Amino acid sequence: MPIFRNKILALFLLVNIAIACTSLIVFANAISEKVIMKSPQQEVVKRLEEAEAIALIAAAVAVAGSTLASGIALSAVAKAGFAAYVERPDVKTWLLILGGLAEGIAIYGLLLGIMILGKI
């Protein structure tokens, strides 16, 4: 059973890393150029300013870092939770609360990224 649990935790960590890398790639692609529509027939491509590029990178780092930290925290909660639940099944509620707090880290990073992008 512990081997199966370790595989699941490794899968969760890999998914979080994949999401973090994807968000970095998307933001890096957005840094290169921004399309401004002047009219339906005419598109103007404008280079991003330095401040906008730094804001995009900051939003990407906020989302990627919080997602990775959330995965690590949830991994620790799950490991300790399985051990605690075997000994005392009445701690199930506390484990769900701790899991929610670990997921809250990712939500805070996402909100921070949205707030940073809202300033652009």
Domain ranges of the chain: 2-118
Write down the mean pLDDT value for the chain: 78
More confident call, 65 vs 31: 65
Rounded CA gap, 48 and 71, in Å?
Answer: 32
Rounded CA gap, 34 and 103, in Å?
Answer: 33
pTM for this prediction: 0.59
Asked if pLDDT for residue 35 goes beyond 60, the answer is no
The residue whose two tokens read 């652009």 is 120
Q: Interhelix angle for 2-32 vs 50-87, to 10°?
A: 170
Asked if pLDDT for residue 24 goes beyond 60, the answer is yes
Asked if pLDDT for residue 76 goes beyond 60, the answer is yes
SS3 for 22-65, per residue? HHHHHHHHHHHCEEEEEECCEEEEECCCHHHHHHHHHHHHHHHH
